[in-house]
Amino acid sequence: GENVEQHPSTLSVQEGDSAVIKCTYSDSASNYFPWYKQELGKGPQLIIDIRSNVGEKKDQRIAVTLNKTAKHFSLHITETQPEDSAVYFCAAQSSGGSYIPTFGRGTSLIVHP
Amino acid sequence: DGGITQSPKYLFRKEGQNVTLSCEQNLNHDAMYWYRQDPGQGLRLIYYSQIVNDFQKGDIAEGYSVSREKKESFPLTVTSAQKNPTAFYLCASRPGLLSGDGYTFGSGTRLTVV
């Protein structure tokens, strides 16, 4: 089955800095890669996603890049703000089987004012 | 506004009790899911349902049961057979099981054994 590794587990930055979270996956059939943000005590929220026919996608201060050859994808947050502090999860999903995503273990991002 | 509602937000279970967590959605989604979240771990799939009156076991179904009598509702029962039920439980949905889309999650239920 699919295996998703996410690094780092904790990331601490100063307000205004950039933050990068990386995920690797094992199944070359995976073709959909969502990212979720989970604030304390709340459910995860989909913030950006990318499909395998695209190498990069941006939405304001966040972007995701995908390298299919190396089987890794990354979340980039620029000009970080304290409200970006949360746990971020990546996931990989293939169109085979039941389309159930495999999640990474999460990255706790702390943005210091 | 469309969304997923989980209730209660906090739930306490005594040893040997069964408890039921509610999940209701008004997004007209066919597929619904239950996940368990423990500190430092990813999301682990308990059960999922593609359509009314049908559901499938996930990776950690032992000690749990579900029903899907209505499209909008997918309750999860944590039975006394679940030996370590203290966790944060998340319900999610998406348009269809074979949908290449992300999930919409509820706000979660925190279950604690007392």
* B5 in contact with chain A, both atoms CB, cutoff 8 A: no
pLDDT in tens, A47-101: 999 999 889 999 999 999 999 999 999 999 999 999 999 999 999 998 776 789 9
The Cα-based distances of B81 to A70, B16, B61, B78 in angstroms read 43, 8, 11, 8
Q: Please report where in the chains the tokens 């709340």 appear, as a residue.
A: A42
What is the count of residue pairs from A and B with beta carbons less than 8 Å apart? 58
Chain B residues with CB under 8 Å of A8 CB are none
A50: phi then psi, degrees, rounded to nearest 5 = -145, 145
Q: Is the pLDDT of residue B99 over 70?
A: no
Rounded Cα gap, residues B12 and B20, in angstroms: 11
Q: How far apart are CA A103 and CA B16, in angstroms?
A: 31
Are A49 and B102 inside 8 Å of each other by CB? Answer: yes
**Are B54 and B68 contacting, i.e. CB atoms less than 8 angstroms apart?**
yes
Sign of the CA dihedral A105, B93, B4, A47? positive
Percentage of chain B beyond pLDDT 90 is: 77
Residues 2-61 of A with CB under 8 A from B: 4, 9, 31-32, 34, 36, 41-46, 49, 51
Contact state of A49 with B45 under an 8 Å Cβ cutoff: no
pLDDT tens-digit readout, B21-75 = 999 999 999 999 999 999 878 899 999 999 999 999 999 999 999 999 999 999 9
CB–CB of B102 and A45 under 8 A? no
Q: Does B39 touch chain A (CB under 8 A)?
A: no
CA distance B96 to chain A (A): 10
SS3 state at A95 = coil
